[in-house]
Structure 1
């Protein structure tokens, strides 16, 4: 499976590299076609790493931007044009300018989206104290679960940054699926880590086409060589020990 990661969608004139236009998103969806799967399908199947699901694509969105609700949910999910998506919420940002409020998040959760945590204040979790790390993980999870009335087992690392300390803490408080923004297929070097392609507006339609054909095509020589020699996983364990 391939996991795509978006942030804010706008009509035109993106304000930063991670902000894409509606037109660009439409072009991506056209390339994905009938390969798009629902979040629940992903969750059900991703525990079987040997299964052949390479032609399946999951959509995820970070930071709780208003466009998750106004564009992705209202335009695509309610019309049946996509089978759902994951939305990762930094809880302290809920209701801020340009961000979804609780009513929108709750509606998405009821209507085909799956809500995950993105921490409290979008902090780099590799740099915070143990106390702050526990708050970012545990309090955000608890607040989302209280509002949604269901378990929240999904967490996306802010900025894609993680360490063994961070993922051990996330697993301890009850998260089961942890998302980063490395290139490649969904499976990371640990069974609970999931890689995503973080889309920027410098990645044109041809870039997306190539990624969907071969998600590993943009990886560097070091990754390719270490993978070929069977060294990638032990090297990553050494890096994050």
Structure 2
């Protein structure tokens, strides 16, 4: 399975590299065709050892931008064009300009969108103290759970940055699925880690086409050799100390 990561979508003139136009997103959907799956189907497939084939694509959106509700949900989910997506919320940003309100988040949750935590203030979790790390993970989780009335088990690392200390703390906090922005298949080097392609507006449609055909094609020589020799997990554990 392939997991794609988006941020804000706009009509025109993106304000930063992670902001894409509606036209670009439409082109991506055309490439995905009938391969899109719901978050629920993705989570079910995660337990299947044969689910690493590139036969399914999951959409995820980070940072709780208003376009999750006004564009993706309103124009694609409610019309049945896409089967849903994951939305990762930095709780401190809820209700601020250009971001989702609690009412919108609750409606998304009822409408089949999988809500996950993106921490409190979107900080690099590898650089904070243990106390601040615990707050980012547990308070954001409890606030989302209080509003949604259900358990929240999905977490996306801000900036995609993590370490063994960070993922251990996230697992202790009760998260079961942790998302980063490494290239490749949905499965990371640990069963609870999930890789995503973070889309930027300098990635053209051909780039997306190549990624959908083979998400490992753009990985480097070290990855290929370490994977072939079955050393990738050990190398990543050493790197993430």
Pair 1:213-2:213 in alignment: yes
1:3 Cα offset (Å)? 0.1
Other structure's SS at 1:166 match: helix
RMSD over aligned Cα, in angstroms?
A: 0.8
Other structure's SS at 1:212 match: helix
Task: Output one character per residue of 1:32-81: Cα deviation in whole Å (capped at 9) or x when no partner.
Answer: 01100000000111122333542100000000000000000000000000
Distance 1:72 1:46 in 2: 24
Task: Output one character per residue of 1:79-119: Cα deviation in whole Å (capped at 9) or x when no partner.
Answer: 00000000000000000001010000000000010000000
Match of 1:180 in 2: 180
Match of 2:31 in 1: 31
Name stretches of at least 5 consecutive residues in structure 2 with no aligned partner.
none
Distance 1:117 1:51 in 2: 25
Distance 1:97 1:17 in 2: 19
Match of 2:90 in 1: 90
TM-score by length of 2: 0.98
What stretches of structure 1 move > 6 A for 4+ residues in a row?
A: none
Other structure's SS at 1:60 match: strand
Match of 1:153 in 2: 153
Name the CA shift for 1:228/1:52 in 2 (closer, same or farther; >3 Å): closer
Other structure's SS at 1:79 match: coil
Name stretches of at least 5 consecutive residues in structure 1 with no aligned partner.
none
Distance 1:187 1:226 in 2: 16
1:231 Cα offset (Å)? 1.3
Other structure's SS at 1:223 match: helix
Report which stretch shifted further, 117-126 or 224-233.
Answer: 224-233
TM-score by length of 1: 0.98
Distance 1:176 1:217 in 2: 28
Match of 1:126 in 2: 126
1:233 Cα offset (Å)? 1.1
Match of 1:68 in 2: 68
1:31 Cα offset (Å)? 0.4
CA contact (8 A) 2:52 2:187 kept: no
Pair 1:192-2:192 in alignment: yes
